[in-house]
Chain A
Amino acid sequence: MSSVAIWPGSSSFITVSESFYNNPSTGSRPTAFGYYDGDPVFKVEADKFADYCARGMGYPIMDVELQDLNFWSAFEEATTKFSTMVNMYNAKDYILQIQGTSTNTNLSGRTVTPNLGRTIAMAKTYGAEAGSGGDVDWSRGRIQVSAGTASYDLQSVWADVSESGNRLEIKRVFHNPPPAIVRYFDPQTDTGAGTQTMLDGFGWGSYSPAVSFLVMPIYADLLRMQAIEMNDEIRKSGYSFEIHNNKLTLFPIPQEDYILYFDYIVEQDRNNVLKESTGSVSDLANAPYDRIQFGDIKDIGVQWIYEYGFGSALVTLGLVRGKYTTVPIPGSEATLNGADLIAQGNERKTTLLTDLKEILLAMSRETSMQAEATIATSMQQTLAKVPNLIYIK
C-alpha cells in the first residue's frame, strides 16, 4: 500500500518551488496559481504558515490529512483575498477618478489624488445641452428660404444631404428681427446715413452735434431701449419660428429670398457612449489594481491572511474528512468530523471578511471625511470651554 498522504510535520516551499520552476520542471506547482511563488517573503512564510495551520489542527497529537500543497494554496488564497478586498475597496472609492485613465498604470500601493476630472466630464453632458461647452460638436447648417414659403423640412433639406441622413437636433435658428440700428443706419439703402433720425431716436435731435450736450442719467438710455424693443414686439410683425420633428415653420412668411442659418447637433453624436479611447479604465473589471505581493503587506494584513488561510485550510480538511462521513474500522465504524471542520472554517472566514469589510468601509474617503468633520466639531466644542483671558486695564 502506498503511504497515506498526510502532513509529515514540515515542508520546504523553496525546494518544491525550485523543482517546479527549474528546467526541466519536476513535481507540482507549489500553489494553485503561482501568484506569489516568486515573492521571497511569501516563500519563507509559506512553511511557517503550514506549520501554524497543522499545529492548530492538532498536529503532532493528531494526524492532519493535508499536505504542504494544501496549506500553501490556502495561504495563496488568503493573500489573494486580502489583496482583492483592499483593491476592490480602493477601486470603489476612486472609480470616479480613475475612469478614463490608462489601464497600464498599476495603482496598487499608490496614493490616488482625487480630482474633478470625471465630475467635469459628467457635467459636460449638461454643458452640451445648455450650449456652453460640452463634448458634442455643434454644427451650422443653412437653407435657402424662398419668398412666400414658411415651412422647411430640415431633415430632408439638410440632414439627408450633409449628415448622411442622421437625425438632427436643432439647437439654434438665426431667425431674428432686424436690429433696431438698421432703422437708423441701413447700409443697403441709399437714403444716407440717417444720422439725424438716429439722434432723434435717442433724444439728441435738438442738439447741435459736437457743440452742446445734455447730461442724461443712464436709465434714460435704458428706458429708451426698452421702449424701442417693446414697440418692435407689439406693433411690428413678430419674428418667430416653430420646430416640430425638425420641420421648421417661419413667421412671418418670408417676403424675400434669403439664406437662413441654424445650429444643430447630430443626435447620434450625443448618444455615442464610447467617447473614451480604448485601453482606458471603464469599471471595476479593468481598474488597474494589480495583486498586492505578500512582501508588501504589513503586519495588520499579514495576521488577517494567516487567520483567513487557516480557515481555508480547515475547510479543505473538512472536505477531505467529509467525503465519507463514516469510515469502516475493524468491527465498527468511525464518524469523521468533516462537517464540523467545514462549518468552523467557513465561520472563521466569514467573520474575518466581515471585519475587513467594516475596516475598509471605515477608511473610505467618504467615511474619513465624516470622521474628520466630527473630530473638528468636537475640537471646536472642547476649545470653546477654554476660559478666555480677561484684560484689566
Chain B
Amino acid sequence: MAIFGRQRDINFMIGVNKELIHDVIEQQVDYYKPYLPETKAKDTANLYGEASAQKTWYRPVRLNCLITYEPTTAVQEEQFGIDINRNTTFAFLREDLLPIQLVIELGDIIEYRGEFFEVDQTGESQFILGKDRTYPKSVGTDFGRSVSIIATTHLTAHDHLQINKTRL
C-alpha cells in the first residue's frame, strides 16, 4: 500500500495546476470537434475521399492550457510552392476535460491567436507520483492521477476547415 499520493495530495496538486493554468498563466484556446453528421464526405468529397469541401464543427469550447508555440518555418513544396508551418504543442489539464467529456483526438482543431492547428498526435504520459488510478493493476483508486493530455499539432489553413469568423 502506497503512503504518499492519496486523494488529498492529488487534490492539492490539481489545485496548484488549476491556479497556475487558470489564474496565473491563463493561456486560452478554442477547441473544435468535428460534427460528423453534418460533415458530408459522400457528396462533396475530393478525389481522396476527404470531406474537404463541407466540414462541420461543433461550437468551440474555450479551454485553458499550456502552449509551446514554435516559430513558423517555410516549407518548399515542389508542386505547390512555398507554404508555412508552425508546430505547436497544447498541454491540457486532464481535470479540465473530464467535466465536459472532451476527448482530444486526431483531426480536432485548436484555434490560437487566429491560427488553426490540427491535432496530429495526442499523448498522456504524466502521472502524479507515477501512478494512474484508472489502471487496473495500480495500487488503488485513491492513488495517482493522469495529469495532462498533450496535443501535438501543425498549422493548417482555415479555408480548408470552413471555419470563418463572422460578426453577428
Contact = CB atoms under 8 A, between A and B. Distances in A.
B148 A330 contact: yes
A57 interface: no
Interface residues of B, number: 33
Given A328-B13, A330-B66, A332-B66, A4 B148 contact: no
Q: Give the residue among A6, A63, A331, A332 with the most B Cβ atoms within 10 A.
A: A331
B32 to A, nearest CB: 20
Contacts of B16: 63, 65, 327, 329, 334, 336
B143 interface: no
B15 A329 contact: no
Contacts, number: 76
B29 interface: no
Contacts of B18: 4
| Interface size range on A against B | 20 to 34
B89 A331 contact: yes
A62 B16 CA distance: 10
B147 interface: yes
B68 A331 contact: yes
A198 interface: no
Nearest to A5: B11
Interface string A320-343: 100110011111101010000000
A357 B27 CA distance: 51
A113 interface: no
Interface stretch (B37-45, B53-61, B90-98): B90-98
16 contacts: A2-B7, A4-B12, A4-B15, A5-B12, A65-B15, A323-B12, A327-B13, A327-B16, A327-B17, A328-B13, A328-B127, A329-B20, A329-B66, A329-B93, A330-B21, A330-B148
Interface of B: 4, 7-21, 23, 65-66, 68, 89, 91-93, 95, 98, 126-128, 147-150
